[in-house]
Structure 1
Amino acid sequence: MPRIEPLNDPYAPEVQASFDRVMRGAPPLALFRTLAVSERAWARFRAGSLLDKGPLSLREREIVIDRTSALNGCEYEWGVHVALFAEAAGLTPQEVAATAAGEVTADWSPAERALLAAVDGLHARSTLSQAEFEALRVHFDDEQMLEIILLCGFYRTVSYLANALDLPLEAGAARFPAAA
C-alpha cells in the first residue's frame, strides 16, 4: 500500500491534460498520480523532467537512469524504464541485468564504461573523481556532461520518491534480476 494515496480517475481536467502530455495516452503511473496529489509537487517534478530529446543518445540516457535507479534500490523506476525504453535503446538483456547487478564488463563500450563509472562515483561520493571526469570528457562535450550529472541527481530524487512512498511496482514493469 502506498504511503500517500494516489489520485484516482476521473482526474481534474488540468491534471488529465498533464497526464496525457507525459504518458501519451497510456494510463498514468502511480508515481505521477501520487505527485499530482500536490499541484506544486507535480508541477515542480514535471519542470525538472529530463525525458525530452536531450544531448545524449537514448541508449546513453537509459544507461544512466537504469544504473542510478538500481544503485538507489529503486526497482519501481528501474523496472518502468527497462520496460519502456530498454529495447528502443538497444540494451541487451545482459546489459540491462548488469545495470542492476553492478557489473562493468568489457561488453560495454569505453564511453559506456565511463558513464557507468560516473554514475557509480556520483552515487558513492556525490562528486566525480578527476579520473572519472576525464574519462567522461574523452567521449562527451560540456552539454552532455551536464546532462549526465542532472540525470543522476533527478533520478536519485525519483528513487527517493518511489522508495519513500512505497509505491507498488507497475504492472508490466521489469523486475530486478534474481541474485546469482
Structure 2
Amino acid sequence: MPRIAPAEPPYAPAIAAELDRIMPTGVEPLLLFRTLARNPRVFARLFAGGLLDRGALSLRQREIVIDRTTARLGCEYEWGVHVAFFADRAGLTDEQVTATAHGGRDAACWPDDERALLALVDDLVDCRTLATETWEGMKAHFDDAQVLEAIALVGYYHTISFLCRGLALPCEPYAARFPAKAGAPDRTVRDKEDDR
C-alpha cells in the first residue's frame, strides 16, 4: 500500500470530472490520481499544470522526455504507466523504450533530434542546468516554444516522480516494468486515442 491511502468513490464532483476526462474508458483511475485526490487543492493544481494536451512538441517527443525523466529519477510507477499508455501510439520501438531507461543519450536507436531531447533531460536531472553543447543541440532541432515545453516537462515530471516515490506507490498492474538491460518491457494498455 502507498503511504497515504487513496480516495475511494464517490469522488467530489470536480475530481470525478477530471478523472473521467483523463482516464481511458474502462480503466480505473490511477493510484497516483486517487492519492492526490486526498488533497483537492494539490489535485487541482497538478491537473491544471499538466502537459498531456497537444503542445509544441509531438506526442513522440513528449513521451521521450517523460519516459527519460521518470526513468532517470527511478520512478518506475510513472515510467510504466506512460510506456503502457503511450509508447505504441508514439511509435517507440521496444529498443527505444528500453533505451529511455538504460541507454546513453547517443544510443544508435535515436535520430539526432531525439538525442538532443535525451541530452536535455540528462543535463537537467544530473546538473539542474543545460551545458552549452546541449543547448546548441536543442536549438539545432527545436524552436523556442519547443525548448521551453521540453524543459517544463522535465520539471513537471520531476515533481510527479517525487510524489510517486515519496508516497511509495506500487506499480499499476498493467504498467510496464523497468526492463533488464537486454530485455524490453511488456506494454499492455493500448486504449483511447490521444485526442487532447
> Normalising to structure 2: TM-score of the pair?
0.89
Query: Which residue is 1:144 aligned to?
Result: 146
Q: Which amino acid aligns with 2:135?
A: F
> What residue ranges of structure 2 are gaps of 5+ in the alignment?
183-196
Does residue 86 of structure 1 match 2:94?
no
1:96 aligns with 2:65: no
Equivalent position of 1:3 in the other structure: 3
Identify the structure with the greater helix proportion.
Answer: 1
Contact persistence 2:119–2:134 (CA under 8 A): yes
- Residue 169 of structure 1 aligns to a residue in which SS? coil
Aligned to 1:19: 19
Per the alignment, residue 125 of structure 2 pairs with: 123
Q: Give every structure 1 segment of 4 or more consecutive aligned residues whose post-TM-superposition deviation is greater than 4 Å.
A: none
SS in 2 for 1:128: coil
> Which runs of no fewer than 5 residues in structure 1 stay unpaired?
none
1:53-104: CA deviation from partner (whole Å, max 9, x where unpaired): 0111111100000000000000000000000000000000000000001333
What do the CA deviations read for 1:11-54 (whole angstroms, capped 9, x no partner)? 22322112111214332100000111001100110111000001
Percent identity over the alignment? 58
Normalised by the size of structure 1, how large is the TM-score? 0.97
RMSD between aligned alpha carbons?
1.1
- 1:30 corresponds to which residue? 31
1:92-132 CA distances to partner (integer Å, 9 max, x unpaired)? 00000000013331221100011101110000111101110
The one-letter code sitting in structure 2 at the alignment partner of 1:102 is G
